[in-house]
A = this chain, B = another copy of it.
């Protein structure tokens, strides 16, 4: 796409710049599961809530290890909500820790609701709390959002993305095996729900005020790498959307599968969570310090995707 200098740089520009700087369009996902942490982080916690201490310490070290290698991290809210309010506090603390390391942060919260309630979600997750002391804390650069409610449910997130210079990734094609159950439901012409949603996303995200200097909108799309054929079709339907691509690694998609989400070597970012986070479990890194395993797994991710995308 041709750059349009007259436009303000938006979330997409910031993300693409971070990708250029680190040299690979990849993202490490923080999906911490207590039982899979390196042993040193698993002490005897009779109170489950105390596990947040070990999870927090582990995640902070992971962030330090991957920050020189990858442009972005995706923090999966569910694994923190698992521990109630203290877990949410940890999630927000990790968002700030990642920002301190100059990482772009995607909050994988998959929120969605009807208009008035969507506003409250958008404010809570994309604006944060006003304080006389200044900076807002615990707010990621972008979040994931569900499209099931239609345009009035999506609108408040998009509006706040424009106002606060953040991003939104709408769920279009999820990476799980049963994504087909609802998303492949087709109309008389063979168009499927996820294609219909893609058209909606392209339309909502195509607003003049939403598209940045490099031609990409701050409204992106989640497109699973586990469905490369669908990704190619979606690339046509959503030329202005950055694709957030889950499914690589533990979920079975190859680097070549991920490449289908790109156009001219850009426009997407591939996420890997468990294959990096729990690299110490893998035979190929056996006997290694877990930090080294995470580092090598992150480098492998970055290199494989870089090559597959042909950057």
Q: Enumerate chain A interface residues (CB-CB to B < 8 A).
A: 31, 33, 46-49, 76, 78-79, 81-89, 92, 110-118, 120-121, 123-125, 128-132, 138, 146-153, 171, 174-183, 185-188, 193, 196-197, 200, 246
> A147 to B78, Cβ gap below 8 A?
no
On chain B, the residues within 8 Å of A92 by CB distance are 84-85
Distance in angstroms from A133 CB to nearest chain B CB is: 8
Other-chain contact of A183, B31, B48, B110, B150 (Cβ < 8 Å): B150
Measured in the bound complex, the distance between the Cα atoms of B171 and A87 in whole Å is 26
Beyond contacts A78-B118, A88-B88: 18 other A-B pairs, Cβ-Cβ < 8 A, are A48-B131, A76-B117, A76-B120, A78-B111, A82-B121, A83-B129, A84-B124, A85-B92, A114-B174, A114-B179, A146-B146, A148-B183, A150-B178, A151-B181, A153-B176, A185-B185, A186-B187, A187-B188
For A200, the closest partner residue in chain B by CB is: B181
On chain B, the residues within 8 Å of A120 by CB distance are 33, 76, 78-79, 81-82
Measured in the bound complex, the distance between the Cα atoms of B196 and A95 in whole Å is 38
On chain B, the residues within 8 Å of A83 by CB distance are 124, 129
Measured in the bound complex, the distance between the Cα atoms of B81 and A89 in whole Å is 11
> B176 to A152, Cβ gap below 8 A?
yes
On chain B, the residues within 8 Å of A86 by CB distance are 85
On chain B, the residues within 8 Å of A197 by CB distance are 182
> A82 to B123, Cβ gap below 8 A?
yes
> B31 to A117, Cβ gap below 8 A?
yes
Give 18 pairs: A residue, B residue, CB < 8 Å, sorted on A: A76-B120, A81-B88, A81-B121, A82-B124, A84-B124, A110-B113, A114-B246, A146-B146, A148-B171, A148-B174, A149-B174, A149-B178, A150-B176, A150-B180, A185-B196, A186-B188, A188-B188, A193-B193
Distance in angstroms from A1 CB to nearest chain B CB is: 27
> A84 to B129, Cβ gap below 8 A?
yes
- Which of the listed residues A48, A110, A151 has the most CB atoms from chain B within 10 Å of its own CB? A110
Measured in the bound complex, the distance between the Cα atoms of B174 and A153 in whole Å is 10
Distance in angstroms from A56 CB to nearest chain B CB is: 13
Distance in angstroms from A79 CB to nearest chain B CB is: 5
Measured in the bound complex, the distance between the Cα atoms of B146 and A147 in whole Å is 10
Measured in the bound complex, the distance between the Cα atoms of B115 and A92 in whole Å is 24
For A188, the closest partner residue in chain B by CB is: B188
On chain B, the residues within 8 Å of A112 by CB distance are 110, 146
- Which of the listed residues A147, A179, A181, A187 has the most CB atoms from chain B within 10 Å of its own CB? A181
> B82 to A85, Cβ gap below 8 A?
no
On chain B, the residues within 8 Å of A180 by CB distance are 150
Other-chain contact of A114, B138, B175, B193 (Cβ < 8 Å): B175
